[in-house]
A and B are shown apart, each in its own frame.
Chain A
Amino acid sequence: MKLLLYEWESYLQYDVKEICREMGIQVDSFAWKFADKNVDEAFEKWFGKSVDTRQYDALLSINYWPVLSRMAQQRGIKYIAWCYDNPLNVINPEETLGNPVNCVFFFDRLQAQKYIRMGTVHYLPLGVNSTRLSKLRLSGQDYDKYCADIALVGSLYESRMQELRALADEHTQGYLDAVMAAQQNLYGCYLFDELISDELISGINEYVAKRNPGTSFRLPKEALTFAMASEVTRKERLILLTLLGRRFDTRLYSFQSSRILQGVKCFPAIDYVSEMPKVFACTKINLNPSLRCIQSGIPLRALDIMAAGGFLLSNYQPELAEQFEDGEEMVIYESMEDAVAKAEYYLKHEESRQQIARNGQTKVLKEYSLQRRLRQILEIAGIVDGATA
């Protein structure tokens, strides 16, 4: 079997290549910086001239790229898109998602359901490289370097909300503020898709046009809801870190930092493969405040933490609560107060914390391996049949 992989800077890519090697799947790869995810003439020309698609069983990419789907459709080769970002960050994905060569995997069940009628979309939770992570060994130096009570590895999500909010009139600003305030305390129920109506968006666009005659600017709904979700996530992460930083030895590993984060030790971003698992294994409590537009799915970060043997303290996510045992394999918080109380409890109860981390690790390495996921993907895509997979 031979796959053609589109390479970009994605977390999953290294492991996907490793796993293909492990499973005896040949992989050729190419990289390209698309001028536009939807249409890129230069790319299409190059691809048409330089790539003989007949030798491959499928074209594979992490996340969904409409331009790749279009090319695959033209050349009659199967296109497998394995998405770990949510939402898709593609304008009008419906235009190409239904291409018959497509086989698109979403880890968020609600998002998959949104597109499932297209017949090319499937729901599949994410996974981790269980071979790599089960070989994880820690030295005394690692402990010295990474040991802390609490850590968050991830972005603070600088959002464009202030800028977008300023486009709207006073009434709409009040509306957006209230809806975000409601979403802030609410897990497992995503308000923005429903409440940011097309009328509200046209209202903002009309107001912008009235104040700037001749402007071609149009605010898309997706941009506003993503900014709102990022803003709520940012606020949650800042509040959570501040509350915990005041009480415990708390670290943030991020390419961003914030002056308002007092009592939190800020470290630069760490490498996904070589460093991150060690941080999770050496930190007593690892936080997963999910990006709020992930409506029901289990974010990759939650699986990364458990697979490395780290103790996971996550916000309530419906699929996490369904598939994992709260208080046995990981711990779920439902509010900021709840998160602080649970952090305090599990810092005091060493044995139960370690047992929970072990249980979570065992389950993820066994049932959430990328190896298993790739076999499922190849089977669903019809490249291997169930018996051989």
Chain B
Amino acid sequence: MNILMLTWASFGNRDMIEAFEELGHTVTECPISDADGAAEADAGDLTGKIRDAGPELVFSFNYYPAAAIACKNLGLHYAAWVYDSPYVRLYHYTINYPTNHVFVFDKTVYLEFHRAGISTVHYLPMAANADRLAALRDFDAFRETEWMNRYEVAFVGSLYTEKHQFYQRLTGISDYTRGYLEGLMDAQKQVYGYNFIQELLTADIIADMKKSLPM
């Protein structure tokens, strides 16, 4: 099968292409920008590119409404594997286009869509390139590297302080709202496996936040 992969600066592009190829498919890359454009306008541009490539399936990491619109217009399957959560573009009106096959790795997110009667969102845990990583399992070779006995503990990831912090921009909220948000966050810090922040953000609290930071 000919697959057109919409690539942006995401993790896993190389691994995904390898996996498709190992399964006997042909992959063509089509670079896209991750920036939020107007879906309808971007779709026009993308439709031409996809038509020129003539694939049988379009694939992207995360979900792009412009791609969904283009694929619907062309009658093509669009597979999107979403590795960010939450991921705001899932809530775009295009999500239930019949040509969509959207995969999310979080069962709770899947259930949210399933309960809303949306059948184009599926549950699929994330995966790794097992062959590439299995090649690392050579302890004798590892022993010779500079990494041996270098660190005992590592954490690879974001501290969520790198980019802008929405909370610190909420300067105009009332003392009550600030106290409420702090209480909510302190409570959530004690609890794993049950996220209650969303259901406890009352209409009044949201209204006060919107007043401070209109969206």
- State the A residues within 8 Å of B (CB): 169-179, 181-183, 185-186, 189, 191, 194-195
Interface residues of B in 166-183 (CB under 8 A from A): 174-183
Number of residues of chain B lying within 8 A (CB) of chain A:
20
- Taking a contact as CB atoms under 8 Å apart, the answer to whether A171 and B194 are in contact is no
B184 at the interface (CB under 8 A from A): yes
B188 at the interface (CB under 8 A from A): yes
Contacts of B181 in A (CB 8 A): 174, 178
Q: How far is the CB of A178 from chain B (nearest CB, A)?
A: 3
- How many angstroms between the C-alpha atoms of A62 and B179 in the bound complex? 40
Q: How far is the CB of A229 from chain B (nearest CB, A)?
A: 14
- Taking a contact as CB atoms under 8 Å apart, the answer to whether A182 and B200 are in contact is yes
Q: How far is the CB of B210 from chain A (nearest CB, A)?
A: 17
B187 at the interface (CB under 8 A from A): yes
- How many angstroms between the C-alpha atoms of A171 and B184 in the bound complex? 13
Q: How far is the CB of A135 from chain B (nearest CB, A)?
A: 44
- How many angstroms between the C-alpha atoms of A389 and B183 in the bound complex? 50
Partner of A177, one of B178, B183, B191: B183
A to B CB contacts below 8 Å, 24 in the list: A170-B174, A171-B176, A174-B176, A174-B178, A174-B183, A175-B186, A177-B179, A177-B180, A178-B179, A178-B182, A178-B183, A178-B184, A179-B183, A181-B184, A181-B200, A182-B183, A182-B188, A182-B196, A185-B199, A186-B191, A186-B196, A189-B191, A195-B183, A195-B187
B33 at the interface (CB under 8 A from A): no
Identify the closest chain A residue to B200 (Cβ). Answer: A181
Contacts of B176 in A (CB 8 A): 170-171, 173-174
Identify the closest chain B residue to A190 (Cβ). Answer: B190
- Taking a contact as CB atoms under 8 Å apart, the answer to whether B184 and A182 are in contact is yes
- The winner among B177, B182, B187 for most chain A CB atoms within 10 A is B187
- Taking a contact as CB atoms under 8 Å apart, the answer to whether B174 and A179 are in contact is no
Q: Which are the 9 A-B pairs with shortest beta-carbon distances?
A: A174-B179, A178-B183, A182-B187, A174-B180, A171-B179, A175-B183, A175-B179, A174-B176, A170-B175
